[in-house]
Amino acid sequence: MDCGRARELNLDGLRERLSAATKAELQAHLSTCVRCRAHAEAERVLGEVLESLPQHAAPLALKRRLAESWPSIETGTLPRRAWAPRWAALATAAAALVLVVAGSTSLLVEQRAALAQLEGESINDHLRVLEGAPLARVTGGLHEVKPWFGGKLDFAPAVHFAGSDDFPLEGGAVEPFLDRRAAVFVYKRRLHTASLFVVPSEGLAFPPELRTQTVRGFHVALWQEEGQGYALVSDLDLQELLELQSQIASR
């Protein structure tokens, strides 16, 4: 399958309208083509944004203007000079409305793409932590971990949760996170690992309020506070992850 055909089929693939054989062929192409995979992700994000947009009935005043401008059934079509100015005005208004909606949709798509980037980076870095690949790491509690970050980061991570019997703190690490370094706090829950990444939030799309998303089987919680962004990732049950997040965010 070539790139042109793959991009034609992306939307049908997202809507589950492809046969099993065509879907498998499309997935095989996407697995090897970075550009088409990015195109498919953009289609998915745009679809999510469009579905989330509020839908409203046309205002009554607009309906009346349309009714007044429509040719009368009794008299037939109106003279061109009678209806042309009205339709020209309506066309101008419609064009302006389209521009406003397009601008809003574009902004929402950009915001969703920025959040998706944070979610993807958080999961990839969590997997690196599980594989033992951070730049540097330390074991111990909060009083060992926080001083250890000195000289390794250009900020002091504002984390005060020292762990508990339910969520013991196993240690910390330093990990690349997009264009900066993150402080990593590693918590445990039975056999599960939860990674907390803390970075300066400036220039990144951390939401002002808690946002959770499930991506690739992992739950990701994003939020920011006092100039620092927080990303908590784990395969824990979402309710347990939220319980841990509430303890981390609590002052």
CATH number at residue 145: 3.30.200.100
User: Virtual CA dihedral for 5, 216, 16, 109, nearest 10 degrees?
Assistant: -70
Residue 123 sits at φ, ψ, to 5 deg, of -70, -45
Q: Is residue 67 part of a domain?
A: no
pLDDT digit string, tens, across residues 124-171: 999 998 888 766 788 888 988 999 999 899 999 999 999 999 999 999
Q: Is residue 218 part of a domain?
A: yes
Q: Is residue 97 part of a domain?
A: no
Kind and range of the H or E run holding 115: helix 80-130
Query: What residue numbers bound the domain in which 14 lies?
Result: 3-46
Number of domains composing the chain:
2
Q: Is residue 42 part of a domain?
A: yes
- pTM for the complete prediction? 0.60
Q: What percent of the chain has pLDDT over 70?
A: 73
Residue of 146 and 65 predicted with greater confidence = 146
Residue 174 has pLDDT above 90, yes or no: yes
Q: Is residue 74 part of a domain?
A: no
Residue 228 has pLDDT above 70, yes or no: yes
Residue of 135 and 120 predicted with greater confidence = 120
**What distance in Å separates the CA atoms of residue 213 and residue 219, rounded to the nearest whole number?**
6
User: According to the model, what pLDDT value does residue 73 have?
Assistant: 47
**What distance in Å separates the CA atoms of residue 161 and residue 143, rounded to the nearest whole number?**
11
Q: Is residue 79 part of a domain?
A: no
Strand partners, 189: 192
Q: Is residue 57 part of a domain?
A: no
The verdict on 37 and 136 lying in the same domain is no
Q: Is residue 69 part of a domain?
A: no
Strand partners, 138: 172
